Amino acid sequence: MLTSTYTLVALSVEQNKVRAALHSLLQELHVLPGDLHTLATGRAAQLCAGLRQAYDSCHWRKLDKFLVPALRRHTAVADGLLQDLEELSRAAWQALDAAEACIGAAERAVPRVQFCGAVERCVAALRRRLEREEHELFPLARSAVGGDAWFAIANQMLAHDAHARERRGTPRGGRLARDPVAAEGGRRHAALSALH
């Protein structure tokens, strides 16, 4: 039970980061300078890059890497919900694609209404996905996935985090920089092993 709680809390932290990024994008969108019909191409491109990063962050979360495959292996009950979540991701991608298409050639201004509408549709689809994960997928996973699977998911997440820290701490010369967090990761792994 503690392992599933740890895992769901870690996934919620990722969700909150994506939510914050999406909220920030909407705030930036609503204070854009310019006339009523167009936006500066450079500013629209910056917003699009931020939107792309938020979309990618949402798409490549640990939830999709570890929890969803475990759910697919353990139950068919989640199939309809997972399909709905994929459709929300597809809608977000289509809106992102439309926003990027608005930017087009660098020498012309960006049509404000089309661009802002596409960004807002993308953000809305991603937010809806996050809400459904939190209110529907997490409770379903808690009841459908067994203790051994939660332990495996938690171990995969810890290994993923350790690998990411190692990559960030590795200079070009190939030697690892001292990582004070690595020792903490080892202690967490031992604690999870004890919980199991």
Output b/e per residue, 52-75; b: 16+ Cβ within 10 A.
eebbeebeebbbbebbbebbeeee
**Separation of alpha carbons 187 and 196, rounded Å:** 14
| Contact partners, residue 94, CB within 8 Å, separation at least 6 | none
**Structural domains counted in the chain:** 1
What pLDDT does residue 34 have? Answer: 63
CATH of the domain at 122: 1.20.120
Range of the domain at 55: 2-195
Q: State mean pLDDT over 116-122.
A: 96
Average per-residue pLDDT in the chain? 81
Sign of the torsion angle spanned by Cα atoms 118, 119, 120, 124: positive
For the segment 15-56, what is each residue's pLDDT rounded down to a tens digit? 899 999 999 999 998 887 766 788 888 888 999 999 999 999
Mean pLDDT of 64-76: 86
pLDDT value at residue 36: 74
| pTM, to two decimals | 0.77
Local confidence band at 5 (pLDDT 50, 70, 90 cut-offs): confident
